[in-house]
């Protein structure tokens, strides 16, 4: 594969499945705490596929989705770039040898101390969507290269999470006013960015937003912003469905056909890279059967929860159904999965049909790489689940 220090990455035979690896770790270590296994090869394949399907679009991995040090090391070794939202994320990627020109500071609203740090380490590309942020940067980082974040339609039928509710200015008027203001302040306008939502189901949204950015670049140049030469298409690809990248690539590539080669195109994928590479296993530490008239509901208590790997369940964004590691079955029963803390809102599964599980059985969740380890806390004193990276021999 690539030139990389494989220390701390377990190497397994090719014939071992994900379930086999989970069982081996539990058996070899007398495992009691929840844990992840992380398939390193999966991320490498995702990067190669991206470069093949969208060769013009330079991916900047969204560190917020999964700041695991091995994830960052792998992508850094692949010469990927990075989307950072804070001083701490910039420090993390630079510690892995990433240079300032491979980083975009993509948080539209930044703390003054973080801006000062970005200036100190040479991270110049950053995102704005207000006049106030422009003035803040003029004072603290006058050589910053500004990218205006525009708001686009992120309605519920198009994506799960609409980022345009919080960030972005209207492209029809607010963005144009901000361009004028940046010109008056004698700041550097590098380009425009957008985010279609995460994950995005309407892949045509990318093409439509690119068309808006192309038009804004022409307006900017007419204003005298001759240095404007970047479009940032954000993230939003879940990476789980096999055709998700193909559909986005078709929309993006078509919209870029007539874009001048001098215009640089970048992106900020997070879920795409890490979703499918992480698998979580948690142990059942308690079980309670409740009879409700003619219906029996099975309540399970696991050593994980919403304060650990299931933050998106807390926000009612999804319910991910586990499978049994040791005793898979097709028969289903009304079930609830409770988390390990004392908080009565710590519910992983509220009411779903699931197979019967036994105490000390291990539940398994696939596709757990995004916004899981990144949002884990130590509430009630419980530590976040450990991550064991692995690779199979033929991938080396």
Q: What is the pLDDT of residue 378?
A: 97
* Whole-prediction pTM: 0.93
Q: What is the pLDDT of residue 292?
A: 80
Whether 282 and 310 have beta carbons less than 8 Å apart is answered as no
Q: What is the pLDDT of residue 50?
A: 97
Domain boundary among the residues 247, 269, 291 is at 269
Which 8-state DSSP code applies to residue 100?
G
Residue 327 is part of a domain; what is its CATH number?
2.40.37.10
Count of domains observed in the chain: 2
Question: Does the residue 202 lie in any domain?
Answer: yes
Reported as a pLDDT band with limits 50, 70 and 90, residue 144 is very high
> Do 234 and 288 reside in the same domain of the chain?
no
pLDDT average, residue stretch 263-280: 97
> Do 216 and 285 reside in the same domain of the chain?
no
pLDDT average, residue stretch 21-42: 96
Domain boundary among the residues 269, 292, 322 is at 269
Q: What is the pLDDT of residue 341?
A: 98
Enumerate the H helices of the chain as residue ranges.
18-29, 40-53, 69-77, 87-95, 112-121, 131-140, 174-184, 204-223, 244-256, 271-274, 311-314
Q: Residue with structure tokens 């990389």?
A: 4
Question: Does the residue 4 lie in any domain?
Answer: no
pLDDT average, residue stretch 178-188: 98
Residue 197 is part of a domain; what is its CATH number?
3.20.20.10
> Do 253 and 288 reside in the same domain of the chain?
no
Which residues, other chains included, contact 383 with Cβ-Cβ below 8 Å and sequence gap of 6+? 33
Q: What is the pLDDT of residue 159?
A: 46
> Do 158 and 283 reside in the same domain of the chain?
no
Q: What is the pLDDT of residue 236?
A: 82
Q: What is the pLDDT of residue 131?
A: 98
Summarised one tens digit per residue, pLDDT across range 71-125 is 999 999 999 999 999 999 999 999 999 999 999 999 999 999 999 999 999 999 9
> Do 227 and 249 reside in the same domain of the chain?
yes
Question: Does the residue 20 lie in any domain?
Answer: no
> Do 195 and 287 reside in the same domain of the chain?
no
pLDDT average, residue stretch 219-237: 95
> Do 259 and 283 reside in the same domain of the chain?
no
125 compared with 2, residue with greater pLDDT: 125
Q: What is the pLDDT of residue 235?
A: 86
> Do 190 and 110 reside in the same domain of the chain?
yes
Residue positions counted in the chain: 396
Question: Does the residue 290 lie in any domain?
Answer: yes
d(CA 137, CA 111): 10
153-187 as b/e: b if 16+ CB within 10 A: ebeeebbbbbbbeebbbebeebbbebbeebeeeeb
Full DSSP string of 123-134: --EEEE-SHHHH
Reported as a pLDDT band with limits 50, 70 and 90, residue 154 is low
> Do 90 and 217 reside in the same domain of the chain?
yes
Domain boundary among the residues 269, 286, 316 is at 269
Summarised one tens digit per residue, pLDDT across range 332-356 is 999 999 999 999 999 999 999 999 9
Give the residue numbers annotated as catalytic, written as ranges. Answer: 342
Query: Which residues span the domain enclosing 282?
Result: 30-38+278-395
Question: Does the residue 383 lie in any domain?
Answer: yes
Q: What is the pLDDT of residue 6?
A: 73
């Amino acid at each position: 594969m690539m030139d990389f220090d494989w220390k701390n990455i377990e190497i397994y035979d090719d014939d071992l499945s994900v379930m086999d690896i989970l069982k081996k770790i539990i058996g070899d270590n007398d495992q009691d705490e929840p844990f992840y296994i992380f398939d390193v090869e999966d991320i490498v394949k995702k990067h190669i596929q991206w470069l093949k399907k969208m060769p013009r679009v330079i991916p900047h991995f969204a560190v917020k989705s999964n700041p695991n040090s091995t994830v960052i090391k792998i992508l850094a070794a692949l010469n990927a770039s990075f989307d950072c939202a804070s001083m701490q994320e910039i420090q993390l990627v630079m510690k892995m040898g990433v240079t300032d020109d491979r980083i975009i500071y993509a948080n539209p609203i930044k703390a003054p101390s973080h801006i000062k740090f970005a200036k100190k380490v040479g991270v110049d590309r950053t995102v704005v969507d207000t006049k106030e942020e422009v003035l803040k940067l003029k004072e603290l980082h006058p050589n910053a290269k500004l990218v205006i974040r525009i708001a686009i339609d992120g309605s519920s039928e198009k994506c799960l999470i609409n980022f345009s509710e919080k960030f972005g200015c209207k492209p029809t008027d607010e963005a144009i006013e901000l361009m004028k203001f940046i010109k008056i302040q004698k700041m550097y306008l590098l380009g425009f960015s957008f985010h279609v939502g995460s994950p995005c189901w309407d892949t045509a949204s990318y093409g439509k937003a690119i068309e808006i950015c192309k038009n804004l670049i022409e307006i900017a140049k007419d204003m005298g912003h001759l240095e404007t030469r970047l479009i940032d298409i954000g993230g939003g690809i879940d990476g789980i469905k096999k055709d998700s990248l193909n559909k986005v690539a078709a929309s993006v590539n078509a919209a870029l056909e007539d874009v001048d080669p001098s215009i640089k195109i970048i992106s900020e994928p997070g879920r795409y890279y890490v979703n499918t590479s992480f698998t979580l296993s948690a142990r059942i530490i308690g079980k309670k059967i409740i009879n409700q008239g003619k219906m029996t509901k099975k309540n399970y208590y696991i050593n994980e929860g919403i304060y650990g790997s299931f933050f998106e369940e807390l926000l009612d964004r999804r319910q991910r159904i586990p499978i049994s590691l040791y005793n898979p079955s097709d028969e289903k029963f009304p079930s609830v999965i409770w988390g390990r803390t004392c908080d009565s809102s710590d519910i992983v599964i509220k009411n779903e049909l699931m197979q019967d599980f036994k105490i000390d059985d291990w539940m398994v969740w696939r596709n757990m790489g995004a916004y899981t380890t990144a949002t884990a806390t130590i509430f009630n004193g419980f530590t976040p689940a450990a991550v064991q990276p692995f690779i199979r021999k033929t991938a080396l």
